[in-house]
Structure 1
């Protein structure tokens, strides 16, 4: 047997059948687990336990790595649950998985958690951590697990459903298709302080948790299904150090200041009236101006890149989505059908059967029909179709969030039809087009994610998927950006590259997506006449640049904290007269600006000048032009910027040039 430890042969480190990860790494508290031949394991478990093969690879897992952070946070979730049951013995355990930047745990509890509860629970967690309780793994049979957890009805359901547990509802953190395990939290005298059904792994003992906090609580349906009981969800976070926890909390504070929902209200951009429904936004005049500026610039860039504009209806017969495969693979994400066109006689006999219509969740099937509407020649390819198309997706109410997760959205959707020989060059130029356009909106820190096939939820042959995936990998390599894999994350019809953009405070947003589709052209029978006169199947490339207009407005609002660059600002200039006598003078200045295409208003209210300045600053207007007697006599204005800087007696023509140059160059001021 050949054993490699941390990349080196183990001649100098004796690994026997009883050697554990603690024997190798117990002195380093930053190592929280080991990976043995790719399998994550507790440090306390014998390294060779159940391992087969002539080659054994052993690697330490640090607490700053993605797997290490997940283990740290899952362990903290157990400590939080132990604290809850200590404070509320009647609380029944749900599921407690690690999530991005933290963890949650669900409880069946008579009353919701209060802020005071969270403070008390944190203190209890601290006592548990100081006790250095050990996480000890035990393998148990299904019957043994049921007997030990007889008072935990939700755990019993997980045991019964262990073959169907998924990552979607967090259940896979607790049970899998095979062996069940329970983790005991043991005190120093080996007495059991608490236990939980869990797959692990966990840190060796609670002393490995240096920094944690409980963040908030909310209601949540058991396993995300509204037909199930409503539980109380406790959210927390855990980090390798107190400094990292503090940095995270600071980021959250900054994110709260940038919350697009709050800024949308304060800047009068958009709202979500209850009378319309969850996840359905209305844009107010200022938000409409912002959105129009974004769309107009995007349209012009698409014109310059030889895209052709198309339009399609909001609803369609269900047959279209049967052909495309959406009804088979995506129906849960679609709104229920509307049964229409049925005709009956007076006695109720059906004279003409009706049919189901659906709100469209995607534009691509309709673009396929546009391509198929007449014969196509290779001379027309690549054919680039573009649409700002409204689509509708039935998101669960629990995941709807402002503009970033909506039910009604407008996609800047493009579909490119090309030959197989054109595919590689088209993908490379398309990705560069996407990145350049995002940079124009002020985002410039990117990496790429490649989502590959899920064999259980896809159509097409292995060869087709391999060819499409290879083409995307080639385009990603040409971009020079980092590429990370998302195994099994592709849509049912195509692999995908997504552009992940970091905003001003370092958060990552998935924006543009590019998919190589070899399936829909087959399903819709798309063809073109090749140079040899033979009929050929085109390649179809899907591309959504912003993701959706709504989501991109939300992302940019938070990226800029509402302080949009002049070219995007709903109001670019506010004229502020020192007194009402100068309203007309600033009206003339505003007319010159409007003639130059600038969005300008003059504040003619009865407020004092300083109040008008404060109002303009609160509205985050880029430029304020102040005018009094001396300014009017000199044909000038006093320039005031939103950061407080001021430049006096600027000639009007020069002021117009400064403003129009800033708008044209898309600079931030």
Structure 2
């Protein structure tokens, strides 16, 4: 057989290698056990792929992003095989990898219960132990229909848009562009134990699945469309080692412990009454304290950063949102029209159209620019009920919304100014691990965006240059831009490593334009020029930001944010008046203090304060009263006895002023 020259890519660089024609990719990496697939010319391939002359081949490690996706999709196939082994009448939906795991949809007569998942896991382990081989073969539409005649959902994917070569929405792992392929699971005798329509790639064998767990089952509409039949979805997770799986499960447990919905109830911060409606939270007094502190902080910071405070109404005539472009491009996210005196009004989903009217209310000079407007604007988004989640996805929320009107020349400095503002704000709230994401337009979907190619190129370049200057990691997000311009978002990692999209900065050359609001300023040469409009939201929304903070701190807020900063606990009722006097002095300094004068025993009072995650406790008994002191107890259980009252007050005041965690 003839020889073939290929290029092998590794962390050490590229090296040419001569192999025999027909050599499989796995032979290049047989000494690297963690390689489970290959990237050939940029495309992912099975290790069974036959090399051809000129191939550039890179090994895909199991602990890489692509490697984990391949591991998880292969595990989804094992899940589906196990389900059909145990429930032969089950019909297959789709089974893609998702963040941190995978799922597979099934049409079954009876919904799965936890006991079923345990049986399925046991069967999966048996399949994995059998070391079945994942084997790829190319087929045709007609042959695939014949083979999968008993699988109605697979038949639908084959015929989607009239061709098997078209990708199914939400089914990219099953049907992809190009060849139509089926993967067989082959037993030790080379017989087909199970098969599925799939584009791959997959692990070499089932035994390469090191660690997995089925998590839960839930109902899911076929292809995400509520008009379709409801299927049963089984979620699972798979990792490259048992240790990695254990770490993931621990993170899930920690996330459940930090769930802001549960902590909101436990700490009496907020609630979601059915009588008001889904996605419309109410804040209780303690939650109101946190909300007010956030508002006071960000209002002060905006003023310090050169913004002027404005206010706009909750509703406006529908025509305003046609002018801005929101109804044509964002109409699904807005609530239906309200008929007032025969005219259609809309609840506002954003504040920018009204800020534009403030800018346009009189002639503006270049000397006024940058003109920075800011408000806590309450907006309403018609979110689907299935995506509403506590405070982090709601239908009514307050944005710390600001708009900077600048000359094109001023735009880079203004974006730089806003980005520094945003990062300093996040650090003040204890979030200091972040990266940036640059959202650009999708050129394949021009109808989703407005503006010329040149305008988009300029705007994107300005944002990108400023982001690069920060030295932070910059991740591309193609197609994620707003319809009116590109944006940069700050992605912050919380205390357990989860990423949250926080603040955003958007470059807008469209809304100020003549076809829309026709915003102008008088330039230094007397001509009328169009400003650039830069949208920015620091919290994003107060509600969502608070939900993130509750989970980041697990409800144990730093003293400056804590609803109750000090719990005063008398050892006996006799000493309550003494602590009320101490509390009065602290309240005079603006500190938030409560005295527990209930009939509970002292240890229960301490326990209650710990459960409420109060930063400081002041405990007083006979010796303390005589000495004019208190026992100063911290949230973590440390305690200093005999602390003079003035020193105790100073400790709390200093911790609040320093915004430190205790």
Q: Deviations over 1:81-101 (max 9, x none)?
A: 111111111111112111111
Alpha-carbon distance in structure 2 between the residues aligned to 1:198 and 1:361 = 41
* Match status 1:65 vs 2:70: no
Partner residue of 1:620 out of 613, 626, 633: 613
Number of matched pairs: 651
1:4: which partner in 2?
7
Residue matched to 2:500: 509
Query: Are the structure 2 counterparts of residues 379 and 23 from structure 1 closer, same or farther at C-alpha, using a change threshold of 3 Å?
Result: same
- Maintained 8 Å contact 1:268/1:286: yes
Corresponding residue number in structure 2 for 1:537 = 530
> What's the offset of the Cα at 1:2?
7.3
Matches within 5 A, 1:593-632: 593-632=586-625
For 1:396, the equivalent position in structure 2 comes to: 384
- Partner of 1:668, secondary structure, is coil
Asked whether the 8 Å contact 2:272–2:279 carries over to 1, the reply is yes
CA shift in 2, pair 1:148/1:580, >3 Å: same
Matched residue, 2:647 = 654
CA contact (8 A) 2:26 2:47 kept: yes
Any residues of structure 2 matched to 1:554-573 within 5 Å, and which? 554-573=547-566
1:334 to partner: Cα distance: 2.4
**3-state SS of 1:640 partner:** strand
Structure 1 residues 210 and 333, CA gap change in structure 2 (3 angstroms): same
- Shift of residue 643 of structure 1? 1.1
Secondary structure (helix, strand or coil) at the match of 2:479 reads coil
CA contact (8 A) 2:8 2:17 kept: no
Contact 2:7 2:17 survives alignment (8 Å): no
Q: Determine whether 1:247 maps to 2:247.
A: yes
1:178 shift after superposition: 4.1
Could you tell me how far apart the structure 1 residues matched to 2:31 and 2:293 are?
Answer: 58
Match of 1:43 in 2: 47
Give me the whole-angstrom Cα distance separating, in 1, the residues matched to 2:199 and 2:349: 37
In the TM superposition, what are the counterparts of 1:316-355 in structure 2 within 5 Å?
316-342=316-342, 354-355=343-344
Q: Pick closer, same or farther for the CA change 1:410–1:483 going to 2, 3 Å.
A: same
Instruction: Answer yes or no: is the 8 Å Cα contact 2:167–2:175 preserved in 1.
Output: no
Corresponding residue for 1:446?
A: 434
Shift of 1:25: 2.2
Looking at structure 2, the residues matched to 332 and 157 of structure 1 have their Cα atoms a distance apart, in angstroms, of 28
Match of 2:355 in 1: 367
Alignment deviations for residues 379-412 of structure 1 (CA, whole Å, 9 cap, x no partner): 1111111121222222222222211122222221
Partner of 1:351: none
Is 1:169–1:224's contact at 8 Å kept on the other side of the alignment?
A: no
CA separation in 2, counterparts of 1:165 and 1:594?
71
| CA separation of 1:224 and 1:207: change in aligned 2, threshold 3 A | same
How far did 1:115 drift?
1.4
Matches within 5 A, 1:408-423: 408-423=396-411
**Moved beyond 6 Å, runs of 4+:** 163-168
Instruction: Determine the structure 2 residue equivalent to 1:345.
Output: none
TM normalised by structure 1 equals 0.93
Give me the whole-angstrom Cα distance separating, in 2, the residues matched to 1:531 and 1:2. Answer: 65
Change (3 A) 1:371 1:67: same
Q: Contact conserved, 2:6 with 2:18, CA < 8 A, in 1?
A: no
State the secondary structure of the residue aligned to 1:631: helix
> Which whole-Å CA distance do the structure 2 matches of 1:206 and 1:191 have between them?
15
TM-score relative to the length of structure 2: 0.94
Rate the CA distance shift 1:335–1:169 in 2: closer, same or farther, 3 A: farther
Q: Check the 8 A contact 2:166/2:177 in 1, yes or no.
A: no
The equivalences for 1:194-213 within 5 A come to 194-213=194-213
- For residue 150 of structure 1, report the CA deviation from its aligned partner: 2.1
Pair 1:10–1:584, CA change in 2 (3 A): closer
Q: Could you tell me which residue of structure 2 aligns to residue 521 of structure 1?
A: 512
2 CA distance for matches of 1:218 and 1:603? 45
Mark the runs of 5 or more structure 1 residues left unpaired by the alignment. 343-353
Tell me what 2:27 maps to: 23
| Equivalent position of 1:489 in the other structure | 480
1:339/1:194 CA distance change after superposition, 3 Å: farther
Answer yes or no: is the 8 Å Cα contact 1:32–1:63 preserved in 2: yes
1:639 aligns with 2:598: no
Structure 1 residues 640 and 4: CA distance shift in structure 2, 3 A? same
Q: How does 1:206-221 map to 2 (within 5 A)?
A: 206-221=206-221
Q: Given that residues 71 and 209 in structure 2 are in contact (C-alpha distance below 8 angstroms), is that contact kept between their aligned partners in structure 1?
A: yes
Once superposed, what is the RMSD of the aligned Cα atoms? 2.0
Structure 2 Cα separation of the partners of residues 365 and 525 of structure 1: 12
Distance change >3 Å, CA 396–CA 149, structure 1 → 2: farther
**Preserved CA contact (<8 Å) 1:505 1:559:** yes
Measured in 1, the distance between the counterparts of 2:198 and 2:616 equals 58
1:520-552 residue CA offsets vs partner (Å, 9 max, x unmatched): 212321111111111111111111112211111
Which 5+ residue runs of structure 2 have no aligned equivalent? none
